[in-house]
Amino acid sequence: MAITIRPAVAADVPQILDFIRALATYEREPDAVTATEEDLLRDGFGPNPFYFCLIAETEGAPAGFAFYFFNYSTWLGRPGLYLEDLFVYPEFRGLGIGKALLQRVAAIAVEKGCPRMQWEVLDWNTPAIEFYRAMGAEFMDEWRNVRVSGTALQRLAGSGENRT
Amino acid sequence: MAITIRPAVAADVPQILDFIRALATYEREPDAVTATEEDLLRDGFGPNPFYFCLIAETEGAPAGFAFYFFNYSTWLGRPGLYLEDLFVYPEFRGLGIGKALLQRVAAIAVEKGCPRMQWEVLDWNTPAIEFYRAMGAEFMDEWRNVRVSGTALQRLAGSGENRT
């Protein structure tokens, strides 16, 4: 079955949102997606996009996507590629689509001069972990991910407001 | 002691590199920094910067810095703020400079409409972990950090080159 990978265009936004929702369901957070088509259109397809997206198709049918943007390595003095989402619909798994997407993203990283690409995986997602390991990935387990959001972020932002 | 926090300008690049090297030494990787002043100038102070930086000073002396850029939440449909580095020179610790920098970064996140800010911490860095917890941070320990770099990235990029 032929796999085609192409950059997403603005008309793909409804499809991108479907991929995002399907991935959230797989990650056991089906209600976590509040993003709208308007959000994705505004942030991905303006003059200075916050993100980029690839769509994988098999015989014209959308099968998977990769969603990425650029971070920065202070040690290397170069932008890196950050892969936010990589997803293939369940009915299209086992055809090499995930691998093809990952390879294409890696090729973009190399083309853009990024010395590395990074992403995250849920610790219970054994098939993905084994797949990434087979692709040459390292697991940076000494680094813990930290987040401040919602009211905690508002409080932190507000608590320094009288500072020069 | 008065703490002043200001956005970095191009003339701060040598100072930014000194902060980056001092942080790498603290993180037990003193030889990992290959970034040059040219790299930081090109990537942070052009028309579409890859990163942003705040400098903290006490009585005119550089004391600490925060280095950040924007990522993207597919669930929320909004950019988020990613804090790559937060560092205070050892001789300036205990004065509230780290907290002031974190508060300023949080205020920038709120101002830019980011629903969250994120960063990473080394699992042995107990003082930092306790500090972040006190600031309202959550630890996303179910997410493992994955990376492909160097020859593994080249190999992954090259292995898909004949794919349509």
Mean pLDDT by 10 residues, chain B (164 residues): 94 98 93 97 95 96 98 97 97 95 97 96 95 95 96 91 50
Q: Does position A91 have pLDDT exceeding 90, yes or no?
A: yes
Interface contact A100-B160, CB threshold 8 A: yes
pLDDT on residue B161: 57
pLDDT tens column, A95-107: 999 999 999 999 9
Give me the total of CB pairs closer than 8 Å, taking one residue from chain A and one from chain B: 267
The verdict on whether B68 is a catalytic residue reads: no
Give me the residues paired with residue A120 across strands.
Answer: B145
pLDDT tens column, A9-31: 999 999 999 999 999 999 899 89
Instruction: Give A128 to chain B, closest Cα distance, Å.
Output: 11
Domains of chain A: 3-159 (3.40.630.30)
Could you tell me the strand order of the sheet in which A3-7 lies? A3-7, A52-58, A61-73, A78-88, A116-122, B143-149, A138-139
pLDDT on residue B159: 79
Looking up tokens 């849920």 gives A122
Instruction: Give B139 to chain A, closest Cα distance, Å.
Output: 5
As for the ipTM of the complex, it is 0.93
How much is the pTM? 0.93
Instruction: Give A105 to chain B, closest Cα distance, Å.
Output: 8
Interface contact B153-A106, CB threshold 8 A: yes
The catalytic residue among B68, B82, B89, B132 is: B132
pLDDT tens column, B27-36: 899 899 999 9
pLDDT tens column, A97-152: 999 999 999 999 999 999 999 999 999 999 999 999 999 999 999 999 999 999 99
**What integer best gives the mean pLDDT of chain A?**
94
pLDDT on residue A159: 78
Rounded distance, CA B87 to CA A25, Å? 38
Active site residues of A: 132
pLDDT on residue B149: 95
Nearest CA in chain B to A124: B142
Q: Which of A110, A123, A137 sits opposite B142 (nearest CB)?
A: A123
Interface contact A161-B107, CB threshold 8 A: yes
Q: Which of A129, A135, A148 sits opposite B135 (nearest CB)?
A: A148
Q: Does position A164 have pLDDT exceeding 90, yes or no?
A: no
For B46-112, the three-class secondary structure string (H helix, E strand, C coil) is CCCCCCEEEEEEECCEEEEEEEEEEEEECCCCEEEEEEEEEEECHHHCCCCHHHHHHHHHHHHHHHC
Rounded distance, CA B115 to CA A146, Å? 14
Identify all chain A residues contacting B126, using CB atoms and an 8 Å cutoff.
none
Pairing between strand A143-149 and B3-7? unpaired
Interface contact B43-A72, CB threshold 8 A: yes
Interface contact A150-B74, CB threshold 8 A: no
